[in-house]
Amino acid sequence: LAKTTQPISMDSYEGQEVNITCSHNNIATNDYITWYQQFPSQGPRFIIQGYKTKVTNEVASLFIPADRKSSTLSLPRVSLSDTAVYYCLVGAGGGADGLTFGKGTHLIIQP
């Protein structure tokens, strides 16, 4: 299983773009990269998933360099409600194999 490393915490302000990077040096060929968001006392929520290059949806973008040893979740124009813990998971077939959660990144958005 590819181990992931993320910053423990990050701070930003409303309206800013936030980029959270995840390192996964041992990612395997079949592994996908998936990001989840978790609020206190709730289950994680799927944000975005990708395999290579760039993926964009209505809430975020995911940038994956050619070597796939890292990935960056980009949240445009954050608001206070984006304060949460963000987890990056790496695994085969959509990131579900093994499902080892790292410590995640606690993102705090200030007014």
The dihedrals phi and psi of 94, each to the nearest 5 degrees, come to 95, 10
> At its nearest, how many Å lie between another protein and the CB of residue 22?
14
Cβ-based nearer residue to another protein, 15 or 98 = 98
Cβ-based nearer residue to another protein, 51 or 63 = 51
Mention every residue, 6+ apart, whose C-beta is less than 8 A from residue 46.
Answer: 34, 36
> At its nearest, how many Å lie between another protein and the CB of residue 96?
5
Cβ-based nearer residue to another protein, 12 or 49 = 49
**Cα of 69 vs its chain's centroid, Å:** 13
- Collapsing DSSP to helix, strand or coil, 54 comes out as strand
Q: Footprint of another protein on this chain (CB under 8 A)?
A: 32, 34, 36, 41-46, 49, 51, 87, 92-104
With tokens 């994680």, the residue in question is: 44
> At its nearest, how many Å lie between another protein and the CB of residue 16?
25
> At its nearest, how many Å lie between another protein and the CB of residue 3?
13
- In 3D, which of 87, 79, 32 has the Cα closest to residue 59? 79
